[in-house]
């Protein structure tokens, strides 16, 4: 991948968030409403955790817990792995692979949530990268 591409160039800027302390039942409703597989948990403007569909299945359903009695704090994955918008796509992809995660919240220098980078965001780059490689090969 091209090292000139930065996380901030391809991240999703409209991140669906939920406040720390919120009921888990709200998470599932928000996922459905916004058609997303993960919601970032925030404390003010700071991202403190993430809840994925997998978390709901493994930590609530498979564990036999009542979703109406759970809070996001009990289920969210933490510590949260994050990335800065100035990081290269390669760095972010390596971090995802190394941590076995599919999404990286993006934070600014004040540690405020400004976006999210997913495997899907990176995958959408592939056609452009293939075109660049083909152009380079044709120019030789």
Q: Which residue has the tokens 């939920």?
A: 18
- 1 domain residue, yes or no: no
Element (H, E) at 128: helix 126-139
Its pTM stands at 0.82
- 56 domain residue, yes or no: yes
Structural domain span for residue 53: 7-139
- 83 domain residue, yes or no: yes
Q: What would the mean pLDDT of 47-70 be, rounded to a whole number?
A: 93
pLDDT at residue number 132: 60
Residue-averaged pLDDT of the chain: 88
Distance CA 93, CA 102 (A): 9
- Answer yes or no: is pLDDT of 80 > 70: yes
Per the structure, how many domains does the chain have? 1
Distance CA 70, CA 109 (A): 32
Find out whether 61 and 69 touch, Cβ atoms under 8 Å: no
Length of the chain: 140
What confidence tens digit (pLDDT) does each residue in 97-123 have? 999 999 999 999 988 999 999 988 888
- 71 domain residue, yes or no: yes
- 128 domain residue, yes or no: yes
- Answer yes or no: is pLDDT of 1 > 50: no
CA proximity to 119, closest of 86, 85, 84, 94: 94
CA proximity to 84, closest of 120, 49, 47: 47
pLDDT at residue number 138: 66
- Answer yes or no: is pLDDT of 126 > 90: no
pLDDT at residue number 135: 63
- 88 domain residue, yes or no: yes
CA proximity to 84, closest of 48, 61, 117: 117
pLDDT at residue number 131: 63
- 2 domain residue, yes or no: no
Lowest mean pLDDT across 7-11, 75-79, 129-133: 129-133
| CATH code: domain of residue 121 | 3.10.580.10
pLDDT at residue number 2: 45
- Answer yes or no: is pLDDT of 60 > 50: yes
- 63 domain residue, yes or no: yes
Question: Distance from first CA to last CA of the chain, Å, rounded?
Answer: 19
């Amino acid at each position: 991948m091209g090292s000139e591409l930065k996380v901030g160039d391809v991240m999703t800027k409209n991140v669906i968030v939920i406040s720390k302390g919120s009921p888990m039942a709200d998470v599932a409703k928000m996922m459905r409403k916004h058609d997303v597989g993960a919601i970032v948990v925030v404390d003010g403007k700071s991202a403190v955790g993430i809840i994925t569909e997998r978390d709901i299945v493994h930590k609530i359903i498979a564990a036999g817990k009542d979703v109406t009695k759970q809070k996001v704090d009990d289920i969210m994955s933490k510590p949260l792995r994050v990335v800065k918008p100035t990081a290269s796509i390669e760095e972010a992809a390596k971090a995802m692979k190394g941590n076995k995660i599919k999404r990286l919240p993006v934070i600014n220098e004040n540690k405020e949530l400004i976006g999210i980078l997913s495997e899907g965001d990176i995958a959408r780059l592939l056609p452009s990268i293939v075109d660049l490689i083909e152009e380079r090969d044709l120019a030789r």
